Amino acid sequence: MRVLVTGGAGFIGSNFVHQTVRERPEVRVTVLDALTYAGDRESLAPVADKVTLVEGSITDAALVDSLVADSDLVVHFAAESHNDNSLNDPSPFVQTNLIGTFTLLEAVRKHGVRFHHISTDEVYGDLELDDPAKFTPDTPYNPSSPYSSTKAGSDLLVRAWVRSFGVQATISNCSNNYGPYQHIEKFIPRQITNLIDGVRPKLYGAGENVRDWIHVEDHNSAVWAIIERGRIGETYLIGADGEKNNLEVVETLLEIFGLAKDDFEHVKDRPGHDLRYAIDATKLRDELGWTPKYTDFESGLRATVDWYKANEAWWRPAKQATEAKYAAQGQ
């Protein structure tokens, strides 16, 4: 099987490639990645001899067409993925998330190639902190930011290409991921690398915002379950019942580092910050028989801390510039 992985040099995509090479030796992997600030060739270094990395954009129709023509399956991770960046400059989000997805859809339509679209639970907007509800595949779309609205738009394009043109596609909307190879601009790796540097963690506002954390390995095992057993045209929500508020995450990290639970700083909250996300993954569990492996958040987080401690050479080059960007925003 020939698989084209877009965004395979990013956080979730590179973990998907590692997992695929490890568990499915019959699969031939090609990665298409623009190597933006979020993509890193080094994230694929351990599997470099088993994977072909093509540097280019998913908005390049000729390149996409030639790569898709040579594939049996496209797994589409490539995206501009950071909410904060989308508030400063939405334009690359529109280009990559909307035009890039459109470009891929036209190629899979032409060549009759199976497509799996990776998306986020942020398309559903947010829930009140005291609301017992969770997102289901029937929850109406209500995105808040340029990031989540362009992801919502890309999901709708996929649905329309299935309905209008018979494209063989599935969609997954996953909750917040953590694990190795995540860019240090993101909440958990930013706090971990600050703690390694002896800098106090930074908490947006009061830290009440709730995220439904899932280990990246569990996200990717669910993606393979959908590719192999999912029904064409369906949307599956991926989550592992990992609801934690940001304060709890920071306190757990401080505990792992052997520090006092209140040894952190508050920083200015971001505008429009979604309150709570929570996933009901019943359809994925019941229909496809998927179960997560990382059910204990603290031990998953401990393993992630160990990874960042052992792989400083991977994250150190981006640290200064990332912190300078946050400092300019008072965060």
Ligand X SMILES: NC(=O)c1ccc[n+]([C@@H]2O[C@H](COP(=O)([O-])OP(=O)(O)OC[C@H]3O[C@@H](n4cnc5c(N)ncnc54)[C@H](O)[C@@H]3O)[C@@H](O)[C@H]2O)c1
Collect all residues with Cβ–Cβ distance below 8 Å to 209 and sequence separation of at least 6: 245, 246, 273, 274, 275, 276
Q: How far apart are CB 304 and ligand X at their closest, in Å?
A: 13
CA 145/CA 286 separation, integer angstroms: 32
Which of 104/250 has CB closer to ligand X? 104
Structure tokens that stand for 37 in this block: 């600030």
Of 57, 80, 234, 226, whose CA–CA distance to 151 is shortest?
A: 80
Q: How far apart are CB 147 and ligand X at their closest, in Å?
A: 8
- Please indicate whether residue 121 is annotated as part of the active site: yes
3 state SS of 2: strand
Q: Are strands 2-6 and 73-76 parallel, antiparallel or unpaired?
A: parallel
Q: How far apart are CB 285 and ligand X at their closest, in Å?
A: 18
Which of 248/259 has CB closer to ligand X? 248
Check 80, 121, 274, 323 and give the catalytic one.
121
Q: Where on the chain is the footprint of ligand X (CB under 6 A)?
A: 6-7, 9-13, 32-36, 38-39, 57-59, 77-81, 96, 100, 118, 120, 151, 174, 176-177, 183
**How far, rounded to the nearest angstrom, does the alpha carbon of residue 271 sit from its chain's CA centroid?**
21
Check 122, 126, 155, 274 and give the catalytic one.
122
Q: How far apart are CB 58 and ligand X at their closest, in Å?
A: 4
Of 8, 105, 76, 104, whose CA–CA distance to 47 is shortest?
A: 8
Which of 11/308 has CB closer to ligand X? 11
Collect all residues with Cβ–Cβ distance below 8 Å to 178 and sequence separation of at least 6: 188, 189, 213, 214, 215, 216, 300, 301, 304
Backbone angles phi, psi at 292, to 5 degrees: -80, 155
Going across the sheet that includes 51-55, the strands are 51-55, 28-33, 2-6, 73-76, 114-120, 169-174, 235-238
CA 265/CA 63 separation, integer angstroms: 46
Q: How far apart are CB 140 and ligand X at their closest, in Å?
A: 19
- Please indicate whether residue 122 is annotated as part of the active site: yes
Which of 12/222 has CB closer to ligand X? 12
What is the Cα gyration radius of the chain? 19
Which of 162/237 has CB closer to ligand X? 237
The amino acid present at 150, given as its one-letter code, is T
Which of 96/322 has CB closer to ligand X? 96
- Please indicate whether residue 40 is annotated as part of the active site: no
Check 33, 124, 147, 277 and give the catalytic one.
147
Residue whose CB is nearest to ligand X in the complex, by number: 10
Q: How far apart are CB 198 and ligand X at their closest, in Å?
A: 26
CA 299/CA 256 separation, integer angstroms: 10
Annotated catalytic sites, by residue? Answer: 121-122, 147
